[in-house]
Amino acid sequence: MSKTAGIIIIGNEVLSGKTQDINSTFLCRELRELGVEVQRVTVIPDDLELIGRTAARFAERWDLVFTTGGVGPTHDDVTIEGIAHGFGVKAVIEPSLEGRLRARYGADLNPARLRMAMVPEGAELLAAGAMFAPVIRMRNVYIFAGVPRILQDRFHTIKEAFREEPFHLRNIYIKDGEGVIAGTLNDLLERFPDILLGSYPVLDNPDYKVKVTVESKSGDYLDEAVADLLEKLPAAAILRIEEG
């Protein structure tokens, strides 16, 4: 079985359309390549109580939880306090983060900036070599800053800790429409219930009408399923097959 993951995107600016979320796309793609199955992505506002409830619920349901956004010095940066509240602990000043901030700002270290040293009590710092915005792990919840460049940098630093057996993938490009092949795909799932099967209609390509994806963590099982599918489809309907 794969490790499973849930992703929580936090920010009023995403829900209002002021900022486009690219963090969930990045995390889904990277985690898939690492063999982790993302099962839920949700976007929530900067609401302390809601952040806490959502993080705690996700932590119970999925092996790994990733949050992005709401980490900073301003009034709407309440992710740390929210997650602390959700786990029933205090938000506290982390000494090493405080030390870095004092070294950088000196007498200019005001209460707003000092909030960037807060973590849920009992949390661990990862990617701690970064001057600012290290990843904060609270149990199985990984708290990232919302700035995409920072998130991507920190994720690449720690991502090997999440690596699992990879997914094996075949992309099959089919000239017939979904209405023609739907029954064949349904039958395939009955015979091979453990594959992950996707069917995606294409409207802007004259060469094929559907891209079918077949995935499994077992290469042999995938090969059997794909061979079975190809046997059931007319040869003339298949444009090409690619490995993912």
CATH class of 4-162: alpha beta
Q: Which range among 83-92, 105-114, 214-223 shows the weakest confidence by mean pLDDT?
A: 105-114
Beta bridge partners of 42: 8
Task: Compute the distance between CA of residue 69 and CA of residue 106 in angstroms, rounded to an integer.
Answer: 26
Residue 116: DSSP 8-state: G
Percentage of the chain modeled with pLDDT above 90: 93
Query: Would you call 190 helix, strand, or coil by DSSP?
Result: helix
Strand order in the sheet with 4-10: 37-44, 4-10, 64-68, 141-144, 135-138, 124-126
Q: Where are the domains of the chain?
A: 4-162, 168-243
pLDDT at 10: 98
pLDDT at 132: 73
Q: Averaged over 109-117, what is the pLDDT?
A: 92
Q: Which range among 17-21, 88-92, 101-105 shows the weakest confidence by mean pLDDT?
A: 101-105
For the segment(s) 168-243, the CATH number from 3.30.70.2860, 3.40.50.1370, 3.30.1460.30, 3.40.50.10380 is 3.30.70.2860
Q: Averaged over 195-222, what is the pLDDT?
A: 97
Q: Which range among 18-27, 55-64, 71-80 shows the weakest confidence by mean pLDDT?
A: 71-80
pLDDT at 75: 87
Is this model's pTM higher than 0.75 or not? yes
Percentage of the chain modeled with pLDDT above 70: 99
For residues 173-193, one letter each, b for 16 or more C-beta atoms within 10 angstroms of the residue's C-beta and e for the rest, the string is: bbbbeeeebeebbeebeeebe
- Each residue's pLDDT tens digit, 123-178: 999 988 776 789 999 999 999 999 999 999 999 999 999 999 999 999 999 999 99
Task: Compute the distance between CA of residue 119 and CA of residue 202 in angstroms, rounded to an integer.
Answer: 46
